[in-house]
Amino acid sequence: MRRLRNVKIVATLGPSSDTYEMIEALHKAGADVFRLNMSHGSHAEIRDKHRIIREVEENLNSTIGILADLQGPKLRVGVFSEGSETLEEGARFRLDLDETEGDANRVCLPHPEIFAALEPGATLLVNDGKIRLKVIDCAADYANCEVITGGVISNRKGVNVPDVVLPLAALSEKDRADLEFACELGVDWLALSFVQRPEDVAEARELTKGRAAILSKIEKPSAVDRFDDILAVSDGIMVARGDLGVELPVQNVPPIQKRLVRKCRAAAKPVIVATQMLESMIESPMPTRAEVSDVATAIYEGADAVMLSAESAAGEYPIEAVTTMDNVASEVERDPTYTQIIEASRTADRMTVADGIVAAAREIAETTDIKAICCFTQSGTTALLTARERPRVPVIALTPLVRTARRLALSWGTNCVITGDVDRFKKAVVSAVQAARREGFAGPEDHIVVTAGVPFNVPGSTNILRVAPCDESLIFAADPE
């Protein structure tokens, strides 16, 4: 299913979108990748959604990516004898390991690892940052705090600790079970929540054993501080602005978003901008103007994908939300300013032969009447490098591996075509021409650029480029075998 835009759309599935009819409608409306939130639903329910997605993919003959989002460590307070308490600004409040029910003066925080990392002056945020506590003194089993910002605190509200790197295991026992389940199921991407350091990614990679690509969610200040190291060991990045906006001043998030997107693009790794993009569409068929501008900003910045969360998972208007995002993306990409911004931010660092080949392909395509760039790719690297160039013409990624095609569903501008095994460049050119014509990218009078690596089936070996005519003479001149 050919898209008339380059940025990809990720839609989260949930109670509002768990039937075959709805998932098919969401894909037709523009969803390229479906997110399965492992925080909600049993393994049986997740398996059912996965099965439906693959049925839609087969019936529509359209490659679909699947992203499983692991819950990550959840830090929560205990329970209160009255269910909730109101904390007044300036008051004292104690967090400790005592499991008895809390009151207006204290509550259990059943996470000794937090107390082990705290120091006087540290900040604790409760209930998405609505309550702010400052640590006055602390030990291995308690923290006496001053209430800086008061409010209602109730049972099992979440706690954020922005000032310190917590000595938490990167993956909880639930995450490990979910990771193995998702990999066995056959998801294409695994999203890691609350990544703090590159070692967190390394642990997940060891467990996945190559069965899924790893996407690191950036939602903690420590992850921002060590972003270059985390990016180096990740296959992709999600700028998860929800918790990031809780743990950092909200005005810090936009420049961080812009900086992270540019770094991902320079590294040729997909980046998703996520959280509250069309939040009002959970209950309204129309977004706010500010939300539309927010989506557009992420696209202007060069993000590979934009994501819907509750809008498509639990909202009343999931199809309208995807359609709106599709319309915004299409309109932005038609804007001449978009092209100017994208090309002005193109990286100039080219260190390998593959870098030079894809840059040359883009230059040729944009200075002559070329209709598409066709790249043969085994691992997806060539397609990612081509997408990094953000060419003005379509990118057709040809691969014999369904797994690679599905992973590339997250990458900017890639139109994936499953092809047979190719062992010679002449066959590759013929396959590229056939695909370009069959998928409607080029006609018999047109030309395409073809890139590949010789010898074939060696990841990262892109070293050859050809401008090929799309007329029948090339096809019929090919060897019959």
Of 49, 157, 217, 258, catalytic: 217
pLDDT for residue 464 is more than 80: yes
Residue 98 CA to residue 102 CA, distance in Å, equals: 9
Of 8, 35, 388, 407, catalytic: 35
Strands 92-96, 142-149: parallel, antiparallel or unpaired by DSSP?
A: antiparallel
In the residue annotation, 426 being an active-site residue is answered as: no
Angle at 407 between CA 406 and CA 410, to 5 degrees: 100
Q: Specify the pLDDT at position 479.
A: 47
Q: Specify the pLDDT at position 351.
A: 78
Task: Give one word for 156, left, alpha or beta, with left for phi > 0 and alpha for psi -120 to 50.
Answer: left
In the CATH hierarchy, which top-level class contains the domain 353-477?
A: alpha beta
pLDDT for residue 454 is more than 90: no
Predicted confidence (pLDDT) per residue in 19-40, tens digit: 999 999 999 999 999 999 999 9
Q: Specify the pLDDT at position 481.
A: 39
Residue 68 CA to residue 456 CA, distance in Å, equals: 31
Q: Specify the pLDDT at position 186.
A: 97
Residue at token pair 């929560």: 76
Give 164's pLDDT tier (boundaries 50, 70, 90): confident
Predicted confidence (pLDDT) per residue in 351-381, tens digit: 789 899 999 999 999 999 999 999 999 899 9
Of 28, 54, 74, 76, catalytic: 76
Predicted confidence (pLDDT) per residue in 404-439, tens digit: 999 999 999 999 999 888 878 888 899 999 999 999
In the CATH hierarchy, which top-level class contains the domain 8-73+171-333?
A: alpha beta
- Mean pLDDT value across the chain: 93
At the topology level of CATH, where does 84-160 sit? Answer: M1 Pyruvate Kinase; Domain 3 (2.40.33)
Residue 66 CA to residue 408 CA, distance in Å, equals: 11
Predicted confidence (pLDDT) per residue in 239-290, tens digit: 999 889 998 999 999 999 999 999 999 999 999 999 999 999 999 999 999 9
The more confident residue out of 170 and 187 is: 187
E-strand spans in 302-349? 305-308
pLDDT for residue 480 is more than 50: no
Q: Specify the pLDDT at position 424.
A: 84
Q: In sequence order, which residues have a C-beta less than 8 Å from that of residue 130 and are 6 or more positions away? A: 149, 151
In the residue annotation, 35 being an active-site residue is answered as: yes
Q: Specify the pLDDT at position 108.
A: 97
DSSP string over 244-261: HHHHS-GGGHHHHHHHHH
Q: Specify the pLDDT at position 225.
A: 95
Predicted confidence (pLDDT) per residue in 73-104, tens digit: 889 999 999 999 999 999 999 999 999 999 99
pLDDT for residue 477 is more than 70: no
Q: In sequence order, which residues have a C-beta less than 8 Å from that of residue 225 and are 6 or more positions away? A: none
Predicted confidence (pLDDT) per residue in 287-303, tens digit: 999 999 999 999 999 99
The more confident residue out of 209 and 2 is: 209
Q: Report the Cα–Cα distance between both ends of the chain, in Å, rounded.
A: 29
Provide the 8-state DSSP code for 414. E
Side chain identity, residue 451: T
pLDDT for residue 214 is more than 60: yes
In the residue annotation, 76 being an active-site residue is answered as: yes
Q: Specify the pLDDT at position 268.
A: 94
pLDDT for residue 215 is more than 60: yes
Give 461's pLDDT tier (boundaries 50, 70, 90): confident
pLDDT for residue 474 is more than 90: no
Of 12, 275, 324, 382, catalytic: 275
Q: Specify the pLDDT at position 182.
A: 98
Q: Specify the pLDDT at position 348.
A: 64
* Other CB atoms within 10 Å distance of the CB of residue 22: 16
Predicted confidence (pLDDT) per residue in 312-358, tens digit: 999 999 999 999 999 999 999 999 999 999 999 887 666 789 899 99
- Sorted by where each begins, the domain ranges of the chain are 8-73+171-333, 84-160, 353-477
Percentage, residues of the chain above pLDDT 70: 97
Mean pLDDT, residues 197-212 taken together: 96
